[in-house]
Structure 1
Amino acid sequence: MRADARRNVEGIRRAALDVFRTGGLTTPLDEVARAAGVSKGTIYHRFGSRTGLIDAVVEELVAARIGDIIEAVDALDGPLLRFEEYLLRTWLLQYDEPAANDVLMRVPPDSEPLTTLFERACQFGRRLLHEAQTAGVVRADLTPDDLTYLILERGVIVRACDQQTRDDYHRRLDFVLRGLRAARG
């Protein structure tokens, strides 16, 4: 690849990181092209499609944040704390970063790196759910599918209720988390 082509590719990647980070993965490619100072055709020429561009940036864009959540939560003591902190941190990430929300909602669903990242987060959540249920601190009727849908639903809420403050959003998360706890005898 020529030097100018390499500069274009890197400029598009940097622009995509900035644009997707603030607007999410569904932001029009025209905005990425404008930020990169290239035509939309150049993006398609260099990356093949929107999915190709997303695949090229998703690791840098979101993987580290999700990995940080997994690492930090895994280091906590107690199955209830780990389970609730995983959900809380994941839900707050969905609120704070539209691109992370899109990853956790699998937008677009045909991106292999995005799907792999989504599955990694889900597997970790399922493990935490199993540990918390085994310890008797989380409702026994909560299924792994329920857990996935709770994350998907939060993503929809973040998109639909974009006028709520982070503090109000966080306060409402507490209601949901308390509802997932096992009933005390």
Structure 2
Amino acid sequence: MSTRETAPRPLRKDAERNRRRVLEAAREVFAEHGLAASLDDIARHAGVGVGTVYRRFPDKEQLIDALFEERVGEMVELARASQAVEDPWAGLEQFLTAAQELQATDRGLKEVLLGDVHERARVTAARDRIAPLVQQLLDRAQEAGAVRRDVSFTDLPLSQFAIGGLADYTRDIAPDAWRRMLVLVLDGLRATGTDATPMPAAPVDQEDLERVMQAAGHADRRRRG
């Protein structure tokens, strides 16, 4: 069979326009309401019939995969840009602050980054690209003596869980409250000239972190029925 016969047929201009409209609407709806939003919600926001959404994306998981592969890719580029910062502490701080800002304004992105995405192959592959970059940021800051030696990589996503949850609950009451908590977390990561308070427990290992993410994903699915 020739390449011409097997190549996917390009979408008509109106079909491509509707696809982009659906993706933009999904980005806005998921950012506001999280992944609990339905395809009906997205169709209504896009101003198209729900059948149009289903023709482009037969189920919501495919829509999430298509949309958030790009969004998680933005996080990868953010981590790379932070690695280019000369000062190791400033690079880590830049990444953690910018990542938290993105998650505070986009509930869907937060759920994708910190939830169970094992059924979304493209998103999972994109997310797996972030971890080694962030580990390198942390290693560099610790080697420079800027971050406590007893801080583990898994402490970083767990702190994002905590701050992200606060951002969700205070969004309509005190939308910048999470920024105060982020400052406290960043100060807690810093190595100081005095003895730090010993950690009261061992760090969560990678396997347990995955279990936490799966539990968060299950909770999200129960919430959205």
Q: Structure 1 CA distance, aligned partners of 2:40 and 2:150?
A: 46
Establish whether residue 38 from structure 1 lines up as the match of residue 48 from structure 2: yes
Equivalent-residue separation in structure 1 for 2:119 and 2:139 (angstroms): 29
Matches within 5 A, 1:2-13: 3=12, 5-13=15-23
Moved more, 152-161 or 78-87: 152-161
**In the superposition, relative to structure 1, how do residues 79 and 6 fare at CA in structure 2: closer, same or farther (>3 Å)?**
closer
Q: Report which stretch shifted further, 154-163 or 130-139.
A: 154-163
Q: Assess, with a 3 A threshold, how the Cα gap between structure 1 residues 176 and 68 changes in structure 2: closer, same or farther.
A: same
User: 2:69 touches 2:122 (CA, 8 Å); kept in 1?
Assistant: yes
Counterpart selection for 2:149 from 123, 140, 144: 140
Contact 1:106-1:115 at 8 Å conserved across structures: no
Q: Deviations over 1:35-94 (max 9, x none)?
A: 23334344334312111011122244x245424422431221221111222111111221
The residue that corresponds to 1:85 in the other structure is 94
Structure with higher helix content = 1
The Cα shift of 1:177 comes to 0.5
Aligned residues: 183
Report sequence identity in percent: 32
Q: CA RMSD in A?
A: 2.5
Specify the code of the residue in structure 1 equivalent to 2:143.
Answer: T
Q: Do residues 53 (structure 1) and 57 (structure 2) align? A: no
Deviations 1:97-153 (A, max 9, x none): 223322322365422222223222222211111112222221111111222212222
* TM-score between the two structures when normalised by the length of structure 2: 0.69
1:110 matched to which residue of 2?
119
How high is the TM-score relative to the length of structure 1? 0.82
Instruction: Summarize deviations over 1:157-176 as a string: whole Å, max 9, x none.
Output: 2223322232x322221111
Contact 1:51 1:108 (C-alpha < 8 Å) held by counterparts: no
Equivalent in 17, 21, 25 of residue 31 of structure 2: 21
Contact 2:159 2:185 in 1 (8 A): no
User: Which structure's CA Rg is the greater one?
Assistant: 2
SS at match of 1:24: helix
Which amino acid letter does the alignment assign opposite residue 26 of structure 2? A
Q: Separation in 2 of the partners of 1:180 and 1:7? A: 46
Residue segments in structure 1 that go unaligned for 5+ positions in a row:
none
